[in-house]
Amino acid sequence: MVKRPIVILPFFIIAFLEGLALELIYFSNRKPLLYIAGPIISKFSGEPSLHYPINLVKLSGFFYYAQIFIYIVIGAVLAAITVNILKNIRAGLPLKTNALIKNAAKRYFTFVMFGIIVVALMFFLKRGDVFIFSRLMNLVSKALPQIAPQLQSLGFVLFLFLSNIVLQTFLVLVMPILVIRKASLLKALGSSIAMGFRHFFSIFTLIFLPFIVYLPIVLLKSYLPNLIGRTFSEMSLCIVGVGIIGTAFVECFILVCVTQFLLEKEKV
């Protein structure tokens, strides 16, 4: 990433698109965007969500859906381009922009399908975490009935954070396998899960350590309504903006690490 900054360029493109989406969401309650976004926001989130300061309290939630859309439509493809760049650098091949884009475009729908699968699994993971954590807290509260709600909320955020890393341990190699081995999506999923089991500690560590850097942003987003109440409403904009930049570096670092890991195994 330091010697060849082009590796992180696709993630900067994602960050730019996310920043643009954040700006559009921020100005969605003003004309002319209000004519388009106003009826949609009113229908799904209520009329107060269009007005200050509720619009800033809800900003992080609205941005989450925009982030999902960007990831599915273009984010997974740009991640594939990053893997291809790493592969060419490792093999000593030239980096031609047109060739990189064409190679990714040929399997666009495969990458989109993978993005949809990841989003769906994250959704079910959160639902499962809510169920499991609530059951655990019911058991713990019988022995320790004085647990503060704030600690329970913090515990759930950390529980979801760790379970997300475990899930990524089995999925993070799918993209490198799709690009390097040119495997089908089903084979890439199977191979990634199998390698996740065989090298669980190594892959988990490669993901966990960079994610620790991003953990403060996760915690700030989780307590955003309380934080806004204690500071100022525009704090949500600052936190989400910092999160966009942090995500670009962390996700690129992780993808570089796991791609190098796979290339070492492939002995390319």
Average pLDDT (223-249) is 85
Q: Does 70 or 221 have the greater pLDDT score?
A: 70
Report the chain's mean pLDDT, rounded to a whole number.
Answer: 88
C-alpha to C-alpha distances, 49 to 52, 55, 91, 175, nearest whole angstrom: 8, 5, 52, 37
Predicted local confidence at residue 112, as pLDDT: 95
Burial of residue 179 (number of CB atoms within 10 Å: 0-12, 13-18, 19+): buried
Closest CA to 218 of 164, 151, 254: 164
CA dihedral 99, 105, 110, 111 (to 10 degrees): 80
* Structural domain span for residue 235: 5-266
Predicted local confidence at residue 151, as pLDDT: 73
| Neighbour tally for 127: CB within 10 Å | 10
Say how many domains are in the chain.
Answer: 1
Average pLDDT (34-38) is 85
Chain-centroid distance, C-alpha 200: 20
Average pLDDT (126-139) is 81
Cβ neighbours of residue 11 under 8 Å, at least 6 residues apart?
78, 79, 82, 248, 249, 251, 252
Q: Which amino acid is at 21?
A: A
Average pLDDT (13-41) is 90
Average pLDDT (224-250) is 86
Burial of residue 125 (number of CB atoms within 10 Å: 0-12, 13-18, 19+): middle
